[in-house]
Amino acid sequence: MKRYNHKPVLFAAVFAAINVASAVAAVNFPLGTHLIKGTLKDWQNKVLTSSSAVTVQAVATNGTVIASTQVADPTADGYNFLLQIPLSSTATSSTAAVGDDLNCVLVQDSGLSLAVSPIKVGEANAVSTVALAYVNMKDYTSTNGTGTTASVPAEYVETIAPWMDAYEIEGDYDPFADYDNDGASNYAEYRAGTNPFDATDKLAITAYSAPKDAPHAISFEYAGGHVYGVATTLSLTNPQWATQRVKKTETDVERDQVMPSADEDDVGMATIYVVPAEGAKSQFFKLEAR
């Protein structure tokens, strides 16, 4: 298992207690302005239009709005908002200085404010571009092939969106799809900490031993910060999978799941132990990320 950086870069999260000014005073900007062309998409990777009724604001660290624009219908090159940042040699209450990091805030008509990672102010009379994902809810509901629904946490979107950009894959962030065709869905790989676009990187049992009169040992590669468990069934004919209690060591107490390491940058091999069903002629186990 490889260790990948899943940290989101420019994605919306609930932002509390920001002081939003309703207007910007007209002043003389001695250094001119810096133009930021942006693309704002929804969680399904679709470019928003003017009907989304979202305003994009560039906000100084003191909470003052120094530039604001309404999301519009996308242009031919996909941009749906333009922010014109007023510049001065030293940042003021109504201007920014070249090199400043400004908070970028999304505002809905309902009044809900969402902040994204800072945007960098460039040189006067120059243009820079940004791409933002509008992740403004705790959970999302997606429809799978059978028409049923499942709730998907916003963190899933924040994880897979950078992969989509890196691999230049278009489409939505469908959690039920399997973009690398390795048998594990995008959402299953998110939970396991594996790369949903690399078929060689997936959660799998690497070793199994079943000593007599002792817990059976299941070994696997883990990603730090992720939780793993085991499901079991007595038959593979119409299997009835159920949670199997596991142990971190042979003498440990049984529990539903384990976290081999809380360090998100850690990867390695781990072994968990299961007590087989008493008297069963056969029993099957599968490793799961919880």
Residue in this structure with the two tokens 């799961």, named with its chain if needed: 288
pLDDT of residue 147: 58
pLDDT of residue 10: 35
How confident is the model over 40-88, as pLDDT tens digits? 887 667 788 998 888 999 988 778 899 999 999 999 988 999 999 999 9
How confident is the model over 87-112, as pLDDT tens digits? 998 888 889 999 998 888 888 775 66
The one-letter code for the residue type at 286 is K
**How many Cα atoms sit within 13 Å of 284 on the Cβ side?**
10
Query: 11: which strand partners?
Result: 133
For the chain, give the mean pLDDT: 80
pLDDT of residue 214: 85
pLDDT of residue 161: 80
Mean pLDDT by 10 residues, the chain (290 residues): 47 29 39 89 80 88 88 92 92 89 81 71 90 63 62 76 81 82 89 91 91 89 92 90 90 90 90 88 88
Instruction: Map out the domains of the chain with their CATH numbers.
Output: 15-133 (2.60.40.1120), 139-192 (no CATH), 205-289 (2.60.40)
